[in-house]
Amino acid sequence: MKLTVFGATGGTGRHVVEQALAAGHHVTAVVRDPARLTSTGHPRLEPVVADVMDTAAPEAVVAAVTGGDAVISALGPRPGGGGSVCADGARAIIAAMRAAGTRRLVVVTASGHIVDSGDGPVSRLLVKPMLQRLLREGFADFVRTDDAVRASGLDWTIMRPPRLTDGRRKPYRTAVDVNVRGGILISRADLADAILATLAVPETVGHTVSLGY
């Protein structure tokens, strides 16, 4: 597949790019600084310099998603970037995909702002309410991101990881439209693996995928 990855130099995005290339995909990596790419020089890697937050120059973002099979957003908050980086980025990507006619979109948010039947009583009554107070601004951004993606009209999937780590890869669990019971951690490498696996499962279109160990 031909994939476009936003947030390609971030903690999760780097793993997405590396694993996608290893799997034989062509990757367009949208970056502000190509020097930060770890797979520079790979024959199936195309760095594109663009800032998804630059609403005055959306043409580069449109060009980056044109002709692609799928778009992956692994955007995360920027230092000093305010409280709407993920949502504003998602809206810009969605607008670009509509302009380009590209349909498949996978966006990473989180599971911390969602309380549902997949959560055990400790998580539901103690852990998540505490996290939602401490991380109020970031979680509000994720809510806005979820809303924008759901309203996009695209073939979307939202990935909802718990706390991310830089640990080694190991077996993990996933659940559709419900949180993973007891899944409080996931490595960025395993999140990347789940993102790429989701692209091959059309039944995840229009759904959320949670994961954890």
**Strands 163-165 and 185-187, bridge-based pairing:** parallel
The percent of residues in the chain predicted with pLDDT above 90, rounded, is 72
Band the pLDDT of 34: cuts 50, 70, 90: confident
What 8-state DSSP symbol labels residue 135?
Answer: T
Query: Based on C-alpha coordinates, what's the Rg of the chain?
Result: 16
Q: What is the CATH number of the domain that holds 83?
A: 3.40.50.720
Report the number of distinct structural domains present in the chain: 1
Domain hosting 172: range is 2-212
Band the pLDDT of 27: cuts 50, 70, 90: very high
pLDDT at site 177: 97
46 backbone dihedrals φ, ψ, rounded to 5°: -120, 100
Query: Could you read off the pLDDT of 158-201 as tens digits, one per residue?
Result: 999 999 999 999 999 999 999 999 899 999 999 999 999 999 99
